[in-house]
Structure 1
């Protein structure tokens, strides 16, 4: 193999013209013969036993050329990429140059490569940053949420009202016949939760233990195909009505739900935790706003393949989230009427932002000569093990050292930007402006933050910490 030319073309692509020699092609032809001979019938020879020369004599010398080209191409291409030290980011487009003969062949491979990146301004930037405040009302709201979660249900001898839980038997009938999935026994239904078909819960309100009733319901037009728009009757029997008993907010409550002896101490702890949560949110929003500027400020001829790969990664992440919710991806697509091509198209804009961010971070790491040692990686893994009360070896089992190293490099690069930035006071928004911003936000795809996947364990740990605090 020899590289006849290596030329840069638009969109950070490189065109390689590669020649495969006669000797290399001969080896590829022999390999093709060994693979194909069992499928070629030659009179006088058992399957797979006919000599190559006989087969070539019958079918022509080119009989093995196509398979031989397929054999020779990958090695020749990979050797050329290695020789020219190219950072390939996608698959090549290949075309033959001239004719293929027993003396070899020449092909042209046009492949996208990692683009040259010129950093714009990344130090001395500014962005709005929210000032963290926690009011007494905020603490009371959190305290009430805590009380709601610790409420208990107690039986009452009265008519059910919204907010109560009714224990019911029910069975649905369509045209006088039971339909599949329309029956339940001793089902606890929170009235007002809107967990049942519209109109059902409202008609249970007013019933009490021992009552039976026929409830007329018309299913929505967008409901399951078999029942969409259909009028049905549910026979309902109430076994029990329960009301929510919320504990009193006093010192005894504080002792029951926390490590504190007084309500005052619990409130102080909640205020501290709310402040910490909001500070993290403000810090992340500030960081994201700065990094979006950094990504926008770079100059790079980004190949389409990088955007498409990132969009595909976003889609794969989405599929994983759907699967974790117990919904098969194919079923979700049918339910929503979405096309995968549309999802990929919608992902291109956030994918472009993410690619620019990643390119900017890599350029900062190089420009600032940021380094991470093996000792840094080990220390980070130990920190994570302590934070989540895990064995160090367990952390190492699930996180590769290279992942942690990349994460630390990213953190240091972001710190260069954030530490040199100026936090501005946010502009006060009118009610109209807030409404417009909210509407605009709904239309835009969610941004991916600059934090990478090695943060997943940390994020899960944060959630557990918050639950314990509450």
Structure 2
């Protein structure tokens, strides 16, 4: 197999693959066997029709077409591995030449254009030291947590006075556009000052009492009239204020298993310390990745970037096409960072020769299923059917590479050594698991099971191999 690679962009390549007859012949033979098992030819048992007869009955072009559908995805994958190209999306496959007859001198030739991971240099980790902020907690942090707990045990009491900031109002809303009702809601509970509803609502409600109403102009944020100016009538049905319990031993006994307020505060301080250590570990992770990227210009593949931006926008607006400039900018910045971090972690995992076991992939998928309240077996089966197991293997590899990389460097905080072993785990335990071949084999089987028998080369089969 002859492979030539042309760099179209820093993150895009074109591979031209020419396949020798001895490499393509096994695919032709398999195609003949597959076809023979499906056709009936007088004088031959089903499945035992000679290849020459299959060629004669259906034509060599049909056999070659079946063979191409099987061969191109596999040979494309081999070409990627041979040339160390790491794809970042689905390839565009163009089959340019196919043998016209069994004895034809024409060779199978196809071109694959695909976005790829750019070249990334991972610095030497030995001797690398990274400083991160201290895991500090303050009395203000403790008081804030205590106040949040106190509010959970607060009660709402009706008041006969104008609404004030922090009060809760039960309101009716009616929005009209060009004199016609665009939306209406009744019995909505809203806390003045929270800013969780329409812009201008806080100002309109301020000073109103139960039974009073007013009108203000606002911009609708959802529905058929999203983004349009509307006249909004608001009526206050009731006003309630929140009464909080006293911070004393009685409150501690009601809100926790402790007998005194001091014991409750001590427990809250411990929890705050644990959270601060967790934030410090996150800071260490971010600082480590930033160190790997330091001084490098890492281009982001355009197609992968667009897909990532679209996914981010879907999370903030029902219609990404109507996203604001600020939303688009935030989505683009998030997508760029996300993709750069992923590419750097993939390169790190390769450098550290990370292996991924079948058990690790299964545990990873099971944990995701539990987070979403799904049955792990059903979720994993769905991943298998959709041919997404390869992506799961890659995600586990990134995580393992990150942990291994962080174990290889030293961290300090405030001039003192920082021990992150509680978060980074034990490398020895990972060595006991099965090798990456098991997970890769499972991914391949999963892709084969989920592929459609009649899938064209440029669709499902190519997409799965691109992963």
Fold in common (TM above 0.5): yes
User: Aligned-pair distance for 1:365?
Assistant: 3.1
Look up the SS of the partner of 1:240 in the other structure. Answer: strand
Specify the alignment match of 2:321 in structure 1.
333
Q: Distance in 1 between matches of 2:398 and 2:30?
A: 46
2:17 aligns to what? Answer: 16
* TM-score, normalisation: structure 1: 0.60
Scaled by the length of structure 2, the TM-score of the pair is 0.60
Task: Decide which of 45, 67, 75 is 2:70's aligned counterpart.
Answer: 75
Provide the C-alpha distance between the structure 1 equivalents of 2:224 and 2:72, rounded to a whole number of angstroms: 53
Equivalent residues of 1:219, 1:228 under 8 A apart: no
Does the alignment pair 1:212 with 2:212? yes
- 2:272 alignment counterpart: 274
Report the 3-state secondary structure (helix = DSSP H, G, I; strand = E; otherwise coil) of the residue aligned with 1:365. coil
Residue 126 of structure 1 deviates from its aligned partner by 1.9
Alignment gaps of 5+ in structure 2: 39-54, 382-388, 416-423, 426-467
Residues 218 and 232 in structure 2, CA contact (< 8 A), matched pair in contact too: no
Which of these residues, 404, 409, 418, is aligned with residue 420 of structure 1? 409
1:247 aligns with one of 238, 245, 248: 245
> In terms of Rg, which structure is larger?
1
Contact (CA 8 Å) 2:361, 2:396: kept in 1 or not? no
Count of residue pairs the alignment pairs up? 375
Q: Which digits, 9 at most, give the CA deviation of each residue in 1:428-459, with x for residues without a partner?
A: xxxxxxxxxxxxxxxxxxxxxx99xxxxxxxx
Task: Give the whole-Å Cα distance in 2 for the aligned partners of 1:70 and 1:283.
Answer: 54
Determine the C-alpha separation between the residues in 2 that align with 1:346 and 1:371.
28
Query: 1:416–1:173: structure 2 CA closer, same or farther, 3 Å change rule?
Result: closer
Offset of residue 130 of structure 1:
0.9
When the two chains are superposed, the root-mean-square deviation of aligned CA atoms in Å is: 5.5
Following superposition, the deviation at residue 373 of structure 1 comes to 9.4
Q: Give CA deviations for 1:219-265 in whole Å, capped at 9, x if unaligned.
A: 349887858675636262x4322111122111121222222221111
Matches within 5 A, 1:422-441: 422-423=411-412, 425=414
Q: Gaps (5+ residues) in structure 1?
A: 36-51, 57-63, 427-449, 452-470
Q: Does 1:357 find its partner at 2:351?
A: no
Matched, 1:127 2:116: no
Q: CA deviation at 1:148?
A: 2.5
Alpha-carbon distance between aligned partners in 2 of 1:345 and 1:189, rounded to the nearest angstrom: 33
Q: From 271, 283, 286, give the equivalent of 2:284.
A: 286
Q: 8 Å contact 1:307–1:348 — kept in the other structure?
A: no
What do residues 156-204 of structure 1 show as CA deviations (whole Å, max 9, x unaligned)? 22222222122234545567x561313x333323222334434444333
Matched, 1:181 2:158: no
Cα–Cα, structure 1 residues 109 and 353, in superposed 2: closer, same or farther, change >3 Å? farther
Q: Cα distance 1:415–1:267, how it changes in 2: closer, same or farther (>3 A)? A: farther
